């Protein structure tokens, strides 16, 4: 079975590629290296002892996408990660996000529609729910007006896929709505590449503990939560990777109940920012320098998954705890700094 992973050298993509290779899938990676490096390919080979096919390609080049699929008519499925994902950047540069996240999805789907096997796993996000009215969040929660162009591209992406699946019964797709992916592979050979100042909480925590950042700023302690700081559902990236393979196999083995499905992929447990800080200190023995500052615009108070559907229908459940994830993130940070 040949699986195309776009953005396969990225944070989540690389962990999915490792999982696929270890399950003896033939893997092809497309990546434009805008947010990753070829060192990740070497690490994948070291971890698995296998070499995925790799091609550096920018999916915004429609002709190149078309030519690629002509050379790979025997693809059994596509897991589509390639996208820009910085919320703040998307506000500053919306057209970059609509071109890179929406335009490339259209090109991929145009080519996939010509193949025998039309299976697509789409990287979506819990950000589509905004601040959900009810917690934990189920897949039936209403999709709210996006808080950022980034979030909007995920909503639009799902709508595009839904519309195509309506008119192409053989086109089968699953959108995985991630909560907050954190951590790294146990080998510490792959993880979230630290490019620039981290926007996300956990890489900022590990860089503060490493002394690269002076102090963690906790964005607000006046939320209506148990300790005043915002709540999220932090899921180990290795658990998240496994969810992609289970979802792909659901499509390949025709186990879906409809040709477009969505699943919330989280642990089902919410943690406040201060609980994450405490868990990090406990898991690593490091003490963290932090201070409370104002809220970050656009942040929601709380988001954590209702995992009933993903547990019962997809047959997947997160295995790692928050402390496991934070320890793996710290081990990755130390390994990256040694290079």
Question: Would you tell me how many other CB atoms lie within 10 Å of the CB of residue 239?
Answer: 21
Q: Does 240 bind ligand WQD (CB under 6 A)?
A: no
Active-site residue 97, yes or no?
Answer: no
| Residue whose C-alpha is closest to residue 266's, from 298, 294, 304 | 304
| Contacts of ligand WQD in 295-334 (CB under 6 A) | 296, 299
Residue 289 lies near ligand WQD (rule: CB under 6 A): no
For position 201 contacting ligand WQD by CB under 6 A, the verdict is yes
Smallest distance, ligand WQD to C-beta of residue 70, A:
31
Q: Does 215 bind ligand WQD (CB under 6 A)?
A: no
> Cα-Cα-Cα-Cα dihedral of 82, 87, 91, 95, to 10°?
0
Question: Which of 65, 265, 273, 336 lies at the binding interface for ligand WQD (CB under 6 A)?
Answer: 273
The backbone region for 87, taken as left when phi is positive above 0, alpha when psi lies in -120 to 50, beta otherwise, is alpha
Which is catalytic among the residues 25, 129, 150, 204?
150
Query: Which C-beta is closer to ligand WQD: that of 1 or that of 156?
Result: 156
Using CA atoms, how far apart are residues 176 and 101, in angstroms rounded to an integer? 15
61 is a site residue for ligand WQD (CB under 6 A): no
Our finding on whether 102 is near ligand WQD (CB under 6 A) is no
On whether the CB atoms of residues 176 and 244 are closer than 8 A, the answer is yes
Among 65, 230, 237, 283, the residue binding ligand WQD under the rule CB under 6 A is 230
When asked if residue 4 is in the footprint of ligand WQD (CB under 6 A), the reply is no
Token pair of 278 as six digits: 């405490």
**Beta bridge mates, 182:** 236
Query: Where would I find the beta strands (DSSP E) of 95-207?
Result: 118-125, 171-178, 180-182
The first and second tokens of residue 231, run together, are 């709540």
Residue among 93, 200, 256, 281 that touches ligand WQD (CB under 6 A): 200
Applying CB under 6 A, the site for ligand WQD has a residue count of 19
Q: Which is nearer to ligand WQD, 98 or 219 (CB)?
A: 219
- What's the rounded Cα separation, in Å, for the pair 241 and 47? 15
Q: Compute the chain's Rg from CA coordinates.
A: 19
Interface region with ligand WQD, contact rule CB under 6 A, candidates 14-22, 185-193, 200-208, 251-259? 200-208
264 belongs to the binding site for ligand WQD (CB under 6 A):
no
Other beta carbons less than 10 A from residue 273's beta carbon? 25
Name the minimum Å distance from CB 86 to ligand WQD.
8
Told to check if 232 binds ligand WQD by CB under 6 A, we report yes
Chain-centre distance of CA 266, in angstroms? 11
Distance CA 190, CA 15 (A): 7
Contact residues for ligand WQD, defined by CB under 6 A:
85, 87, 125, 127, 178, 180, 199-201, 204, 216-219, 230, 232, 273, 296, 299
Residues labelled catalytic:
150
């Amino acid at each position: 079975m040949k699986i195309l992973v776009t953005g396969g050298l990225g944070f989540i993509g690389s962990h999915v590629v490792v999982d696929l290779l270890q399950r003896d899938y033939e893997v092809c990676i497309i990546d434009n290296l805008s947010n990753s490096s070829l060192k990740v390919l070497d690490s994948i080979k070291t971890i698995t002892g296998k070499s995925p096919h790799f091609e550096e390609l920018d999916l915004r080049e429609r002709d190149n996408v078309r030519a690629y699929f002509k050379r790979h008519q025997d693809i059994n499925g596509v897991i589509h990660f390639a996208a820009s994902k910085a919320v703040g950047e998307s506000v500053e540069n919306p057209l970059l996000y609509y071109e890179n996240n929406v335009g490339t999805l259209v090109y991929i789907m145009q080519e996939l529609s010509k193949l025998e096997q039309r299976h697509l796993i789409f990287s979506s996000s819990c950000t589509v729910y905004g601040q959900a009215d009810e917690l934990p969040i189920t897949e039936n929660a209403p999709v709210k007006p996006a808080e950022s162009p980034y979030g909007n591209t995920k909503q639009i992406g799902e709508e595009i896929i839904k519309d195509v699946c309506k008119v192409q019964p053989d086109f089968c797709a699953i959108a995985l709505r991630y909560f907050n992916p954190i951590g790294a592979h146990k080998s510490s050979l792959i993880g979230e590449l630290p490019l620039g100042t981290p926007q996300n909480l956990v890489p900022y925590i590990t860089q503060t503990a490493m002394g690269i950042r002076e102090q963690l700023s906790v964005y607000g302690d006046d939320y209506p939560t148990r300790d005043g700081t915002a709540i999220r559902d932090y899921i180990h990236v290795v658990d998240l990777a496994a969810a992609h393979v289970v979802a792909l196999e659901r499509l390949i083995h025709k186990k879906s109940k409809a040709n477009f499905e969505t699943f919330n992929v989280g642990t089902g447990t919410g943690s406040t920012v201060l609980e994450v800080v405490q868990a990090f200190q406990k898991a690593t023995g490091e003490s963290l320098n932090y201070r409370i500052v104002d809220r970050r615009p656009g942040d929601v108070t709380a988001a954590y998954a209702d995992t009933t559907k993903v547990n019962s229908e997809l047959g997947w459940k997160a295995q790692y705890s928050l402390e496991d994830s934070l320890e793996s993130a710290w081990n990755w940070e130390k390994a990256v700094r040694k290079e």
